[in-house]
């Protein structure tokens, strides 16, 4: 069965040609269908909603700043096991770890630091549905 996930190229990566187009190429090479895509600057409210599980963490404010500093590329990716496979392709949150353990991953190749780590992806199917609605509204993907 096909599954959907929300994938986002963060502003720091989306502002460079290499970041934006090379990451999208990696997405396609990995066999994902980009079912929907838009470029949009998240508002602080959207970023806070997006990352509500991180509310109160020491890096939360900085995370919201990083996510709202410019336009992001937001995509709905579709594939069997899309949530897990997109997380694999992103690699570990910390690019230092990513470079050591998953040199082919997007974060190993494109992340600046643990905060501005090039891409985001939903952690579960439930989060994916919530984040898709947060960014695209109530749409019928299928």
Residue 3's DSSP bridge partners are: 79
Give the Å distances, CA to CA, from 49 to 2, 34, 43, 71.
26, 23, 10, 17
Binding mask 25-64 for ligand CMP (x = CB under 6 A): -----------------------------x----x---x-
User: Which residue number, 52 or 54, has a Cβ lying nearer to ligand CMP?
Assistant: 54
CA distance 49 to 132: 12
54 catalytic residue (yes or no): no
Sheet containing 33-40: which strands, arranged edge to edge?
Answer: 33-40, 72-80, 2-9, 119-121
User: Which residue number, 4 or 121, has a Cβ lying nearer to ligand CMP?
Assistant: 121
Q: Could you say which of 4, 17, 54, 120 is catalytic?
A: 120
Q: Which of 78, 114, 129, 130 contacts ligand CMP by CB under 6 A? A: 114
| Residues classed as catalytic | 120
């Amino acid at each position: 069965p096909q599954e959907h996930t929300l994938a986002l190229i963060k502003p720091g990566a989306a502002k460079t040609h290499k970041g934006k187009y090379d990451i999208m190429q990696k997405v396609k090479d990995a066999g994902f269908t980009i079912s929907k895509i838009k470029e949009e600057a998240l508002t602080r409210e959207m970023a806070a909603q997006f990352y509500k599980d991180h509310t109160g963490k020491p890096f939360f404010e900085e995370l919201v700043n990083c996510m709202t500093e410019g336009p992001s590329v937001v995509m709905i990716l579709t594939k069997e096991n899309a949530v897990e496979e997109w997380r694999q392709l992103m690699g570990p949150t910390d690019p230092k770890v990513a470079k050591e353990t998953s040199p082919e991953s997007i974060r190993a190749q494109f992340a600046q630091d643990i905060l501005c780590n090039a891409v985001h992806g939903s952690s579960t199917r439930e989060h994916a549905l919530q984040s898709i609605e947060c960014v695209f509204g109530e749409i019928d993907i299928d």
